[in-house]
Structure 1
């Protein structure tokens, strides 16, 4: 492992050098590097930026040599990607193949690489181009020359254009549909035009003109019914039952695709008008997902007598899972068979998850943790990247440290990953230990999966708002896995994944200056604001954690309508299973489960409670299902 001895005196110098390199300040970089030792563990980062700035004129040999010099780093992969794009944009196709000997990951890079092969005379790449073409979403512009070549060579023809149109139709990619329709000619052009019309108004399926051809007609009819299943599920079922065969939809596979979509939306929307048809069709058809939703519908409607029959149709692995064992127990209880109920709950209670813990509470038992020892030897991990991770974290470069860490995990054995996980725990690198536990598949080593990350921070923040610190810690574990610089696709930031607008509002309400984007990533600020926001939601929903957590994920405005008067109430467990948004449903279950784990692992293991009596007794509404 590289020595850390130089770190104490050179951190600020390296930060100065890295800042200069990122901003192409080569004079500033040269001055800073004079004060750094040649063997500084992070020298590779400075050289990376010199190479990056020299592109596209940089010799590919320099790129190759850089990779040979730093074989234990993620940086050679990064500079190869930069070089590939730079060379491709300059049409230096031979140089592309000098820095890559196989197609890289990522569609844009792969298209550049395949084009380099094509430009260098390799005609065998066109079947791979056809695979890239067959996508319902748009492809990067780097793929366009390849698609043109494949069309010129007849590898992409009318059939491939039509197949992609159908894929785009199912994904609702209307812009791509228009683009593809312009490529068509003859009868296929007519079919393409009608596919667009049917996406806008699927009931026009009865207006399909003659001359399209039987195959295209059936595909159009099936597509229209799938679209109509979304826009008007009852009408889709009526047309499927009463008119589809006469209109020409006879192919068994296409009929099944249409019926499956009608069944899916009939199930998740609970459409009574379609129930007789749905249950009749599902008697001999239906995917595992649709059957799962049909069993879930029985739970939502508390039709306990029919639930066991639907669960029995699920695959064995699903039937044995704690979720369905729990609900079979509930059904048995409601049907007056307490012995069977306890048997089902006993099987569920052996599993470490929401429904396993819920079953344990039904039985009056403690939750089963199945906690395993880390079971690593006493030797320390020796990867050179560890020194770089430590230094990068010290100088507040978490993304670079994260990249180094993941590169080490991907290039390590399972035993090495376990050592890295234990090392990260000892160093207090909580986000990295969670990531290592996943890569090591150490599902039962709870010390790694649920470390008491930033415990003092959460405890102090929770104390200010009379809040359970294990709850806010569980929220952070679910939201960001304790990575302070996490950023979601929609812009949520930090440990507890606050949206910038929410962070500003919470700060203003507290009489504080709203944080800027960088400050939101500071754990002290983020946890303080996130905990305050969680406390506000709990106050809004009378301390009910189920509702507050649903609001934290889906937004409080949605949850305001999810309450009911006493006569409209459903039990808490039914309500949680009924949450229409899969993400929110899983979120509520996960956070409540994580809270029990955190308390049991790091706090008072007595009286672990998943759902409090007041939460069980709250009148929850199924109005949200509308």
Structure 2
């Protein structure tokens, strides 16, 4: 018995021993793999960190033209994603020495990179300026060539002769027939055409009609010398007259039937322009003249819409409201929807709510179903104490489901929270990995790291130009991981994926915005909303008008604000610095808020269109209409949309920042504007 017990005890202990060994065995089998994987990541991170350091040293050496250090560091870069960028910069430095073979090898090997376009551009410019036309013919590509480069290319083809000369002449004539003045660098090419009498009267007439319709009178006079047909010369003189003299259009017999038969498009365009000008000064005269023209002229649908709209507006603004309304009612089915919307807003200006209701009822169904007019169907019922207003509550309920200006207003009316309609867009790890493995994506990441932002953006654009929706969503997540907020926002726009509000409305530059929000006592959500609207958080954005940076400040405005507040900044690049830009932008917004008694609606409109314009718009409504009607009466579509977007974005950011704030505050709700 004792022996049996001993054996049983031993067996039980053995089992227990082996059971305890199992976790240890698993740990020994799998832990090394995890350790190896972690070590692999560390090695990659260390390698990329080291390569970035070497790249910077090589880049700095190249900037100071330290050839020896540059070459030493360049060789150490191995397969660093933007090694080619350095080589491109180095070629640009010595491009005037005509390194043909090096340039051509580079363009052949790195044709898919953004910097290769720079290399080709400056290489072509060097060849053009030095009249190296044989080389130019070899290395020219049309896709990113400037007009002066295109001109030199055609000039080179003509020099070469044969079939090249024929196509060179044909393309040169296409360049000559532009509706705009061409660069001086094209003069030599055009001199060849003129010397050899290659500009026919037909080609000259084609250019003249383009130029005169754009009201470029000096250029039109220059082109006129190449027109050889007497009838065309007479008609050209008439077109000059009708475009320059607003009263000529009153003569409906100004153009002969023969002229109309030969050039119906040009004459109809000219008469349309004349009637549009006349309607602004004397709409009644424009109406009667137009009715006379219609007896023998066939205007296009677009021309009719433009003429009708200008006459309706002219009559209304020239104190002929009844005539205007009668004319609009008569042609409402063939009139642009914009003019009907404009008419409703005229009723808003004077607070004539019944009149506004009547025009909304006359809208075609597709227009009436827009969010704006659905909202106003309900709102006007309230403003007119309509007994049926309760029946319209469903409109507010439906709209409150939308993430929009009118959706948020409707939610506030019903005492509901704002609906964000959030949808997660997170792609699979496989989709992300595939995109991150692309050479262009790797290059963009490294260029951004080195703050070579323009090059990064161009590399990104070149890489993503044929992306699918699915790829764009992955691209948004990748750029968000890099904290490249503008890339994230624009990628989601490209994808058409609207409901991932985490990506579309990132808390970008939050630390800086928070600093100046507190300093200038401006709500953080408002400040971020305004920057989101202005630049989509593109800190180096420059508008066509010259506004710069995150908050799109005009340099003159920035200088004036900086001077008032003893702030100095570098005038050329300073506004691209987020700290400087947000500092000055928040100060300017603060001034607008102070000027308009903390009314965000007016301050936002003033930030976009200027305070003087806002004062002028307020004079027209004389403080008699509610806030939402005043927003609708803003005459600039851009500013109206801007105000609505910033208010809606402000509500979105309020929710993201856990701030309890409606789209419209209590004071704004009751203030008449």
Pairwise CA distance, 1:233: 2.0
Gaps of 5+ in 1: 621-626
Q: Distance in 1 between matches of 2:68 and 2:311?
A: 64
Distance between the aligned counterparts of 1:566 and 1:586, measured in 2?
19
Whether 1:121 and 2:160 are equivalent positions in the alignment is no
Which shows bigger deviation, 523-532 or 356-365? 356-365
The structure-2 alpha-carbon separation of the partners of 1:508 and 1:287, relative to structure 1 and needing over 3 Å to count, comes to same
Partner of 2:50: 6
Match of 2:424 in 1: 373
Which residue of structure 2 aligns with residue 79 of structure 1? Answer: 119
User: Which residue of 1 is the match for residue 223 of structure 2?
Assistant: 180
Q: How far 1:211 sits from its partner (Å)?
A: 6.8
Q: Map 1:149-548 to 2 at 5 A.
A: 152=198, 154=200, 156-169=202-215, 173-185=216-228, 186-206=230-250, 213-215=258-260, 220=267, 223-224=270-271, 226-227=273-274, 229-230=276-277, 232-235=279-282, 237-244=283-290, 250-253=296-299, 257=303, 260-261=306-307, 263-264=309-310, 266-267=312-313, 270-271=316-317, 272-273=319-320, 275-276=324-325, 278-280=327-329, 282-305=331-354, 307=356, 310-311=359-360, 317-334=366-383, 336=386, 337-379=388-430, 380=433, 381-548=436-603
Give the TM-score of the pair, scaled to structure 1. 0.84
- Pair 1:35 & 2:73 matched: yes
Question: Are residues 1:604 and 2:658 paired?
Answer: yes
Counterparts of 1:117 and 1:142, CA distance in 2? 16
Quote the Cα distance in structure 1 between the aligned partners of 2:145 and 2:667.
Answer: 51
| The structure with more helix, counted as a fraction of residues | 2
Q: Deviations over 1:242-284 (max 9, x none)?
A: 3456579721216972662352464389424251464145334
1:220 deviation in Å?
A: 4.9
Q: How many angstroms apart in 2 are the aligned matches of 1:323 and 1:48?
A: 52
Cα 1:240–1:352 shift into 2, 3 Å: same
Partner of 1:624: none
* Residue deviations 1:116-148 (CA, integer Å, cap 9, x gap): 677673656888777766765444456664798
Correspondence 1:93-104 to 2 at 5 A: 95-96=135-136, 98-99=138-139, 103-104=143-144
Separation (CA, whole Å) in 1 of partners of 2:81 and 2:265: 64
Q: CA offset at residue 446 of structure 1? A: 1.6
Q: Distance in 2 between matches of 1:107 and 1:316?
A: 47
Q: In structure 1, how many angstroms separate the alpha carbons of the residues matched to 2:553 and 2:143? A: 38
Correspondence 1:615 to 2:660: no
The aligned counterpart of 2:31 is none
Post-superposition CA distance 1:412-460 (Å, at most 9, x none): 4433332232122223222222222223332222222110001111111
8 A contact 2:476–2:503 mirrored in 1? yes
Asked if 1 retains the 8 angstrom alpha-carbon contact of 2:199 and 2:226, the reply is: no
Q: Distance in 2 between matches of 1:62 and 1:288?
A: 59
- C-alpha contact (below 8 Å) 1:85/1:112 kept by paired residues: no
CA–CA separation in structure 2 for the residues paired with 1:421 and 1:270: 48
Length, aligned pairs only: 608
* TM-score, reference length from structure 2: 0.79
C-alpha displacement of 1:330? 2.4
Pick which of 30-39 and 422-431 moved more: 30-39
What root-mean-square deviation, in Å, do the aligned CA atoms of Structure 1 and Structure 2 show? 3.8
1:99 and 1:470 mapped to 2: Cα distance?
Answer: 52
1:480-527, Cα deviation, whole Å (9 max, x unpaired): 111211122222221111122222222222233354332222111211
- Name the SS for the 2:49 alignment partner: coil
Conserved? CA contact 1:348–1:355, under 8 Å: yes
> 1 CA distance for matches of 2:204 and 2:105?
46
Q: Distance in 2 between matches of 1:431 and 1:502?
A: 24
Q: 2:596 aligned with 1:552, yes or no? A: no
Q: Give the match's secondary structure for 1:5.
A: helix
Separation (CA, whole Å) in 1 of partners of 2:365 and 2:129: 53
Cα distance between partner residues in 2 of 1:166 and 1:340: 56
What are the residue-to-residue correspondences of 1:558-597 with 2, within 5 Å? 558-563=613-618, 568-597=623-652
Would the aligned equivalents of 1:546 and 1:588 in 2 still touch at CA under 8 Å?
yes
Structure 2: any 5+ residue segments left out of the alignment? 1-43
CA-CA distance at 1:66 after TM superposition? 1.8
Q: Give the deviation of 1:168 after TM superposition.
A: 1.2
CA distance in 2, matches of 1:462, 1:581: 29
Cα distance between partner residues in 1 of 2:102 and 2:325:
70
The aligned counterpart of 2:6 is none
SS at match of 2:247: helix
